[in-house]
């Protein structure tokens, strides 16, 4: 049962995140998808790279104090 739930939870969150939805879990936090535009990155040795655009998943933990 437990594993089933974990698996289901994983699937659900994965799906929602791929759809770019924000998933909130009480007591835990929030999973968000943030879009990062393409930008230039300067390395220490003078190399400059153009980084492609990306969608990143970020997790913001729920503040335990507010609960």
Contact set with other proteins (CB under 8 A): 1-2, 4-14, 16-19, 21-29, 31, 33, 40-41, 43, 45-57, 59, 61
CB nearer to other proteins: pick between 26 and 66? 26
- Contact predicate 29/65, CB 8 Å: no
What's the burial of 62, exposed, middle or buried (CB within 10 Å: 0-12/13-18/19+)?
A: middle
Question: Of 33, 21, 20, which Cα lies nearest the Cα of 60?
Answer: 33
Give the shortest CB-66-to-other proteins separation in angstroms: 14
Give the shortest CB-39-to-other proteins separation in angstroms: 10
């Amino acid at each position: 049962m437990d594993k089933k739930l974990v698996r289901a939870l994983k699937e659900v969150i994965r799906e929602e995140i791929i759809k770019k939805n924000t998933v909130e879990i009480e007591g835990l936090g929030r999973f968000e998808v943030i879009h990062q535009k393409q930008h230039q990155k300067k390395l220490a040795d003078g190399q400059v790279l153009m980084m492609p655009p990306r969608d990143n998943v970020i997790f913001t933990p729920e503040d335990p104090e507010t609960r």
